Structure 1
Amino acid sequence: MTTQLLIIWHSRTGAALQMARAAAAGAQAVADELDAGGRFDLQVRPADTVRTENLLAADGYLFAAPENLAALSGAMKECLDRTYYHVLDRLNGRPYGAVITAGSDGDGARRQLERICTGWRLKPVAPTLIVPMRAQTPEAILAPKTVPGAWLARGAELGGTLAALLL
């Protein structure tokens, strides 16, 4: 039987995508270490491509998105809005992790995402990672980002934790 981890991401400046990729690398490393072979299916999908069937097929989830204007990014929120009622009461108890990339705070997006996951009755495997990119000017906010290695390592650890729990 195959176990699937679905990583859903949205990124405007590259930071959330880097964190999603780090989580995927961490998850795959743990699966390889556990010699999961064909028992582990890692799916990494942009939020705008995620459909109800993708959510239903997965055994666990990792969400990676930026905070925009003190809220979850529009594309991630739209993904969750579009699928929410189609999977309600059908994902109960499945594990999830979350990463929010933010200029400084990230708390508004974290709260929003955690409330949706609570409504789906998902179980967090760790506190949401809020990655402070320290962008405070319009130019810095819109510029492509490079996530510091220490944060990428934390993203990889979160992905690895999810994979270990699923396997």
Structure 2
Amino acid sequence: MPALLIVAHAPSDNTRKLANAVLRGARHPDIDNVSVTWIEPLEATADDVLAADGIILGTTENLGYMSGALKDFFDRVYYPCLEKTDALPFALYIRAGHDGTGTRRAVQSITGGLRWKPICEPLICRGAFEEAFERDC
């Protein structure tokens, strides 16, 4: 069974709403035979990534960069996954208080180094929280 890994930093009620929306979407009844797991970035390991057939990354924008938790995740999994996860399909969503540009660029730089394959443009949920962000996720 294909495995989808969600590595999402959700330190607030609103970011948990986004992660839960991603989970609901991934577990939609129209999607059969896919194992879906959400692991917080500080808990996710290289073995989790190596076992995944696809990954969804979620992060807050912190000072124009990804969350420290997602950066820690990348620091720990980068070399163990390098050359073993080429073309891993991934998606990214960012909860951005500002524009999310620096966050997107930083994540794309790391995932590019890993040679992961983006399946869509990053979703950037900008500004004050809106209920539409959940639908978009």
**TM score, norm. by length of structure 2:** 0.93
Q: 2:42 aligns with which of 43, 48, 65?
A: 48
1:124 and 2:113 are equivalent in the alignment: no
Q: Give the greater-gyration-radius structure (CA).
A: 1
Alignment-mate amino acid for residue 149 of structure 1? E
| Stretches of structure 2 lacking an aligned partner (at least 5 in a row) | none
1:61 and 2:60 are equivalent in the alignment: no
**Aligned-residue RMSD, C-alpha:** 1.3
Contact 2:10 2:19 in 1 (8 A): no
Greater shift in the superposed pair: 125-134 or 48-57 = 125-134
Post-superposition offset of 1:14: 3.2
Which SS does the other structure have where 2:27 is aligned? Answer: helix
Aligned ranges 1:100-119 → 2 under 5 Å? 100-119=94-113
Runs of 4+ in 1 over 6 A off after TM superposition: none
Alignment-mate amino acid for residue 131 of structure 2? G
Counterpart-to-counterpart distance in 2, 1:89 and 1:16: 31
Alignment-mate amino acid for residue 119 of structure 1? G
Aligned ranges 1:1-80 → 2 under 5 Å? 2-29=1-28, 32-34=29-31, 36=32, 39-80=33-74
1:148 and 2:130 are equivalent in the alignment: yes
Which SS does the other structure have where 2:42 is aligned? Answer: helix
Counterpart-to-counterpart distance in 1, 2:69 and 2:125: 19
Q: What is the CA deviation profile of residues 14-55 of structure 1, one whole-angstrom value per residue up to 9, with x for unaligned ones?
A: 3333222111111111xx214x2xx31100111111011100
